[in-house]
Every structure is written in structure tokens, then in C-alpha cells.
Amino acid sequence: MQNKFNAFQNALALFGDYIGAASFLGIVGLTATRGFDGLFYAVGWIVGWPIMLFLVAEPMSRRGVTTYVDLIALRFSGKDIKIILSLIGLLCILIFLVAELIGAALLLSLITGINYSLSLFFVTFISVCFVLLGGMFATTWFQIYKTVILFSLALIILFLIFYKMNANNVFLANGISSNLFLPQTIFRYPFDYFSLSLALLFGTAGLPNVLIRFFTVSDRRSARMSVFLATVLISIFYLIVFFLGVESRFILDKKDLSDGANMVLLHLTRYLGHNLLFYITAAITFITIFAVVSGLFVAGATTLKEDVINSKKSYIWAFSVILIGIFADLLAMIFKGQNVAFMVGLSYSLAASANFPALFCSIYLSNISNIAVISGSLLGAVLAIILTILGPTVWVDVFHYSTPIYPFVDSTLISMTASFMTIIIISRLQKSHNT
């Protein structure tokens, strides 16, 4: 890999890789429209980091591998396991990528008036060019700069709110006291709380694009320190953004709030700093999305080139980037109206159900067989996708049936458990079969 970064730079890059539109626009909008939900998601996204560091990143760095597929391949010989796990990892990346591209394209078309498909093509094209020209190195620096810019913007908006509101003192209390901040509005069933929590907790450890970033430092001490710093930065950022959401609820009127949760922050900036701040925020949101998208492209192309196609030639990398770009563009075209946060949630669920069990079992359990890991991973992936399709977000909202076949929004509790159990049971069966 090219130049290494020090701990603080890597922390900024981790932040830049992780915080995208869903965290910036999404949390503000969610908090402003639904209250406690925003904080709930934020907490889940924060808690995933320590888990990733403790359970997954350390063992991987000890064995000297950089991608989780390499780690699994270290233990099991055979091409098929590498290819299947890489493809599932690629699927996670692709879903995430599509979600971010949809967000960027919608934002662009909303602001400039260009139609969606053209915006989408434009956004994808620029991302692909950037990644082709710059690779991992440029992507990392871009993410570092983006973090600094994004953080500054968040602080600026925060201070503007304080400045405007210093007359009426207890805006904070007024904002929070409304019933909105009681955590009952998210899910109907307790199952969903636990399930989604598992997805957020373990999905972070199973997402390839963040994990790869752990290894762009020179040594292990810096790697750990960078994860710690990144966690601190992310926590501060989420708290700021949550506060912005609280204040938006109080400051903006009903019309702006009902415009769609993703636009709340932009309305807030228009109110605080008129058109100037609005356009600056829009531009910085684009930068944010581009940074995450570049990271995803790099992770996806690396996986495709090294693990699936298994080649060392550099033009294969370019080919992978373009191929992923085309796929992502087509999918984003198909899924145009979809809820971006939902797709990101599906990506996490998939990562937690398919990638994480395979990774965890390969690191910590002995007597695991090749086939067990493959089956467990595939089962987790298939269940995660099918149960989500049969659930209310797709079956009812998209296909317009009256009742969902699978009653819960999130599938992780079932799919991840099934994945783990499959791996363990099949290994047991194989062991007793062999002895």
C-alpha cells in the first residue's frame, strides 16, 4: 500500500469514510421529525466501533491481513470460499453505494433542477473518474479534508443557532420537552429494537470499507489509537447533529419539516444563513457523500480485483471500478424513490448476518469447516434479504400488499443467529462424520 498515515490522520479518514449523507442529513431530519429515533441510530452507530476494534480488528492485524476475506482465506484453502464471501461483501458495498448515490443524485437534482437520471450519471461519472485517477491514496486524503470541512460546518451551524437564539434562553428545554423525544415512535415490536441494535453493532465490524481503513497506518499502536480518536470524533459529531435536529424542530415551521426528513438540515441553513449557507451546506454534503462513495468504490474494486477475479494487473482494478460504477448506476436508477436510510440499514443487516459470523467464527472457533462457513454466510445473506423483502418496508410500502408476511422491519436477529448456528452445526456434523 502507498504512504501510511499517522493516527490522527487515519482517524480523520475513518470518520470521513463512515459519515455520509445518512449520518449528516439523515440524523438531523430523523431527530427533527421523529425525535428520539435520531439519537437511537446515532448510539448504535457509535457502539459498533469498539466492538469492531476489540473483536475483529486486533486479530486481523495480528495475522497481518488487510481484508477480512484474506483472513478467512488464511484459514481455509480453496478458491470457492474466497469468491463467495467476497461476492457477499461486494453486495453489502453495492447496496450502501447505491443508497449514497441516490442521496447525492436527489440532492443534485433538487438544487440544480437537472433531472434525476442525468444527476445520477453525473455523480457516478465523477466518482469513477476520481477513484480511477487517485486510488486509495487520493480517496484517503479526500476523506481527511472532508472531515475537517464537515466538522467546521457543523460547528458553524451550531454557533449560528446559539447566536440567533441567545435571546430566548430555554429553547433547549422547550425543544426537548415535547412528546417527540420519548422513544416510542420507532418500532411497534420490541423485537425490532433488538434486531436493529444487532445490525448496527455488528454490521460495522462486517462492513468491508471501514475495516480496510484500519490498516492504512504504519503500526498497530497507531491503528488502535486512530479507532479511538475516530470514535471520539464521531460521537461529538453525532451529538452536535442531534442537537441541530432538536433545534430544527423548534425553529422551522411545519411546512419545512414535512418536506422530507433529508431536507430539514438544508432548510435550517437557509433560515440561519440564507442562500449562502444553504449552498455551502449543499456543496459540503456533496463532498461528504463523494468521500464515502470513493471509499466504497475503492473497497469494492479491491475486493473484485483481488478476491473474485484474482489478478494482480492494474488495469483489472480500473475495469472493476468502472464495472461497479455501471452496476451502481443501474441499480440506483431502478431504486430511485427508495428510502436511503432503509437501504443503508439493509447493508448493515447484511454485513451483520453474513460477513460478521464468518469472520468471527474464522478467528475464534476451532473445528470449523470450509463448507460450514460458506453455508452460514450464504444463509445469513439470503435470510437477511428475503426477510427484509417480506417485511413491511418492502412488501407493504413498495409492493402494496396489505399485510407483511414477515412482521418485523429488521431481520438481523434471525438471520445472524441462523448464520452462526449453521456454521457451528455443520462443523459439528462434519467433524463427527470424519472421525
Instruction: Return residues touching another protein (CB under 8 A).
Output: 36, 39-40, 42-43, 46-47, 49-51, 53-55, 58, 62, 170, 172-174, 176-177, 181-184, 190, 193-194, 197, 201, 220-221, 224-225, 227-228, 231-232, 235, 238-239, 364
End-to-end alpha-carbon separation of the chain, Å?
Answer: 44
Q: How far is the CB of 242 from another protein (least distance, A)?
A: 9
Q: How far is the CB of 26 from another protein (least distance, A)?
A: 17
CA–CA separation, 21 and 29 (whole Å)? 11
DSSP classification of residue 336: T
Q: Can you point out the beta strands (E) in 151-291?
A: none
| CB of 170 or CB of 429, closer to another protein | 170
CA–CA separation, 5 and 342 (whole Å)? 33
| CB of 220 or CB of 428, closer to another protein | 220
Q: How far is the CB of 265 from another protein (least distance, A)?
A: 20
Q: How far is the CB of 58 from another protein (least distance, A)?
A: 6
- What are the start-end ranges of the H helices in 208-219? 208-213
Q: How far is the CB of 198 from another protein (least distance, A)?
A: 9
DSSP secondary structure of 388-421: HHHSIIIIITTT--SS-SS--S--HHHHHHHHHH
CB 407 within 8 A of CB 391: yes
* Contacting residues for 126 by C-beta, under 8 A, at least 6 apart: 290
Q: How far is the CB of 189 from another protein (least distance, A)?
A: 9
Q: How far is the CB of 126 from another protein (least distance, A)?
A: 35
| CB of 62 or CB of 313, closer to another protein | 62
CA–CA separation, 167 and 174 (whole Å)? 14
Backbone φ, ψ for residue 312 (5° rounding): -110, 0
CA–CA separation, 187 and 41 (whole Å)? 12
CA–CA separation, 265 and 27 (whole Å)? 9
DSSP classification of residue 60: H
